[in-house]
């Protein structure tokens, strides 16, 4: 689980910078949705 958090942090650090805040919001929203799905998947596996 700790490694998962580490992956999340590095993903945020290396996230491409998008010029418009709207696009950024959408990208973060999508990333968050994907992360929530991944987290649910991890929960079901363990």
* CA–CA distances in Å: residue 45 to residues 3, 12, 14, 36, 38: 15, 24, 27, 14, 10
Q: Across residues 11-20, what is the average pLDDT?
A: 60
What percentage of residues in the chain have a pLDDT greater than 70?
63
Q: Is the pTM of this model over 0.85?
A: no
Structure tokens at 40: 């649910």
Domain boundaries, given as residue ranges, for the chain: 2-45
* Rounded Cα distance, 46 and 26, in Å: 30
The confidence score (pLDDT) of residue 14 equals 60
Mean pLDDT, all residues of the chain: 74
The confidence score (pLDDT) of residue 46 equals 74
């Amino acid at each position: 689980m700790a490694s998962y958090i580490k992956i999340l942090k590095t993903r945020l650090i290396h996230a491409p910078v998008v010029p418009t805040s709207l696009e950024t919001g959408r990208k973060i929203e999508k990333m968050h949705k994907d992360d929530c799905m991944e987290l649910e998947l991890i929960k079901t596996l363990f």
